[in-house]
Amino acid sequence: MILLGPSGCGKSTLLRMVAGLEDPTSGDVFIGDRRVNDVEPKLRDIAMVFQSYALYPHMTVAENIEFPLKVRGVAKAERAAAALKAADVLGLTDYMKRKPGQLSGGQRQRVALARAIVRDPAVFLMDEPLSNLDAKLRGDTRAELVDLHRRLDSTFIYVTHDQVEAMTMGSRVAVLNAGQLEQVGTPQDVYDHPASTFVAQFIGTPPMNLLQPGQLGSSDVRVGVRPEHLLIAAAGELEGTVRQVEHLGHEVLLLTESPAGRLTARVAPHADLPIVGETVRFDVAPHHLHRFDAVTGVRVP
Amino acid sequence: MKRRLRDAPAAVLMLGASLTLLGVWTIYPLIRAIQTGHLSCDQTGRKCTEKGWGQYLDVFQSKQFQDALMVSVKLAVMTVPIGLLLGIGLAVLADKHLRGIGFFRTVFSSTVATSVAVASLVWFVLLQPEIGVLSDLFSDWIPALKNPGLLRDPDTALPAVALSSIWASLGFTFIVITAGLQSVPKELYESAYVDGAGSFRRFTNVTLPMLSPSILFISVVLTTRALQTYGEVALLTGGGPEPEKSTTTIPYLIYGRNSIISGNIGLKSAAAVLLFLISLVFALVQFRGFEKRVHYGN
**Chain B residues touching residue A47 (CB < 8 angstroms):** 194-195
Q: Over the stretch A49-90, which tens digit does the pLDDT of each residue have?
A: 998 889 998 898 999 999 999 988 888 899 999 999 888 888
Give the three-class secondary structure for A216: coil
How many Å apart are CA B121 and CA B139, to the nearest integer?
20
CB contacts of A41 in chain B (<8 Å) are 193-194, 196
Q: Mind telling me how many Å the CA of B138 is from chain A's nearest CA? A: 45
**Separation in Å, CA of B194 to nearest CA in chain A:** 5
Number of Cβ within a 10 Å radius of residue B219: 21
Is the pLDDT score of A268 beyond 60? yes
pLDDT band at B18 (very low <50, low <70, confident <90, very high): very high
Give whichever of A137-146, B12-21, B125-134 has the largest mean pLDDT: B12-21
**pLDDT, tens digit (0-9, with 9 covering 90-100), for B68-99:** 899 899 999 999 999 999 999 988 888 877 77
- Which residues are CB-neighbours of B21 under 8 A, at least 6 positions away? none
Chain B neighbors of A54, CB-CB under 8 A: 185, 187-188, 190-191
Does the CB of B203 have a partner CB in chain A at under 8 Å?
no
Please provide residue B32's backbone torsions phi and psi, each rounded to the nearest 5 degrees: -60, -40
Q: What is the mean pLDDT of residues A106-122?
A: 89
Average pLDDT across chain B, whole number: 83
A71–B contact, CB cutoff 8 A? yes
Q: Could you say which of A48, A57, A101 has the minimum Cβ distance to residue B191? A: A48
Rounded Cα distance, A92 and B247, in Å: 59
Q: What is the pLDDT of residues B159-169, one digit of tens each?
A: 888 888 899 88
Residue of chain B minimizing CA distance to A58 = B295
CB-based contact, B213 to chain A, within 8 Å? no
Chain B residue with minimum CA distance to A18 = B194
Q: Which of A23, A53, A56, A120 to mutate to test the interface with B (most CBs of B within 10 A)?
A: A56
CA B217, B222, B134: angle at the middle one, nearest 5?
Answer: 140
DSSP for B120-168, please give it. Answer: HHHHHHHH-TTT-HHHHHHTTT-GGGTTT-TTTSTTTHHHHHHHHHHHH
Q: Is residue B55 part of a domain?
A: no
Written as one letter, the residue type at A77 is A
Has residue B272 got a pLDDT over 50? yes
Q: Which residue of chain B comes nearest to A64, CA vs CA?
A: B192
- Closest approach of B175 to chain A, Cα-based (Å): 23
Chain centroid to CA A5: 8
Check if A139 contacts B (Cβ < 8 Å).
Answer: no
Whole-angstrom Cα distance, residue B254 to residue B256?
6
pLDDT of residue B239: 73
B86 touches chain A (CB under 8 A): no
The rounded Cα B8 to chain-centroid distance in angstroms is 38
Provide mean pLDDT across the span A102-119: 89
Helix (H), strand (E) at residue A108: helix A105-117
Task: Please say if the pLDDT value at position A38 is more than 90.
Answer: no
Query: CA nearest A105 in B: which residue?
Result: B298
What CA–CA distance (Å, rounded) separates B149 from B139?
A: 10
Q: Is the pLDDT of residue A297 over 90?
A: no
Position B220 in a domain: yes
The per-residue pLDDT for range B120-161, each reduced to its tens digit, is: 888 888 877 777 777 777 777 776 666 676 777 777 788 888
Tell me which residue of A186, A205, A189, A206 sits closest to A299, measured CA to CA. Answer: A189
Interchain pair A58, B209: CB under 8 A = yes
Would you call A100 and B298 a contact, using CB atoms and an 8 Å cutoff? yes
Query: Residue B40: phi, psi to the nearest 5?
Result: -120, 125
| pLDDT exceeds cutoff 90 at B289 | no
Q: What is the pLDDT of residue A219?
A: 67
Q: CA B269, CA B253: separation in Å to the nearest integer? A: 11
Residues A93-108 have a mean pLDDT of: 88
Q: Which residue has the higher pLDDT, B125 or B192?
A: B192
**DSSP structure class, residue B296:** -
Quickly list DSSP for B203-226: IIIIIHHHHHHHHHHHHHHHHHHH
Whether B85 is in a domain gets the answer yes
Inter-chain residue contact A57 with B187, CB threshold 8 Å: no
Provide the percentage of residues in chain B whose pLDDT is more than 70. Answer: 93
Q: How confident is the model at residue B298 (pLDDT cuts 50, 70, 90)?
A: very low
Mean pLDDT of B263-283: 86
Q: How far is B95 from chain A (nearest CA, A)?
A: 18
Domain with B73, as residue range(s), is 62-293
A&B contacts, CB < 8 Å: 60
* CB contact A283 to B (< 8 Å): no
Tell whether B291 is within 8 A of chain A (Cβ): no
Average of pLDDT values for A256-264? 86
CA of B98, closest CA in chain A: separation in Å?
17
Compute the distance between CA of residue A267 and CA of residue A228 in angstroms, rounded to an integer: 7
- Report the pLDDT value the prediction gives residue A218, as an integer from 0 to 100: 61
A255 vs A276: CA distance, rounded Å: 9
pTM over 0.90: no
Whether residue B35 lies inside any domain: the answer is no
**Residue B25 covered by a domain:** no
Return the residue in B184, B193, B194 with the most chain A beta carbons within 10 A, the one to mutate for interface testing: B194
pLDDT score for A174: 93
Q: Do B187 and A119 touch (CB under 8 A)?
A: no
Q: B292 to chain A: nearest residue by CA?
A: A58
CA dist B86 to B170, B174, B177, B287, Å?
A: 7, 8, 11, 22
- In terms of Cβ atoms closer than 10 Å to its own Cβ (0-12, 13-18, 19+), residue B181 is middle
Which of B188, B195, B210 is nearest residue A68 as measured by Cβ atoms? Answer: B195
Decide if pLDDT at A131 tops 60.
yes
Of all residues in chain A, what percent carry a pLDDT higher than 90? 20
- CATH number of the domain that B93 lies in? 1.10.3720.10
Instruction: Select from A64, A47, A56 the least CA-distant residue to B184.
Output: A56
Closest-CA residue to A67 (of B36, B195, B272, B106): B195
| Chosen from A45, A53, A69, A71 to mutate, greatest number of chain B CBs within 10 A | A71
pLDDT exceeds 90 at position A291: no
> B40 forms bridges with which residues in the sheet?
B49
Number of domains in chain B: 1
Prediction ipTM score? 0.79
Q: For residue A235, what pLDDT is reported?
A: 81
Does the CB of B192 have a partner CB in chain A at under 8 Å?
A: yes
A232 touches chain B (CB under 8 A): no
Yes or no: say if B158 and B78 are a contact pair by the CB < 8 Å rule: yes
Q: What is the mean pLDDT of residues A234-250?
A: 86
- Most A CBs within 10 A among B183, B188, B195, hence the mutation to make, goes to B195
Higher pLDDT, A292 or A219: A292
Mean pLDDT of A272-298: 86
Q: From CA A108, how far away is CA B41, in angstroms rounded?
A: 66
Residue B52 falls inside a structural domain:
no
CA distance A141 to A158: 14
Q: Does the residue B230 lie in any domain?
A: yes
A127-141, B56-70, B240-254: least confidently modelled range:
B240-254
Of the candidate ranges A38-42, A231-235, B223-227, B261-265, the one whose mean pLDDT is the lowest:
B261-265
In tens, the pLDDT along A167-213 reads: 888 889 999 998 889 999 999 999 999 999 999 989 888 889 888 77
Residue B193 lies inside a defined structural domain of this protein: yes
Inter-CA distances, A228 with A11, A158, A159, A189, B218, Å: 30, 29, 28, 17, 66
Average pLDDT estimate for A35-49: 88
User: C-alpha dihedral over A39, A43, A45, A48, to 10 degrees?
Assistant: 80
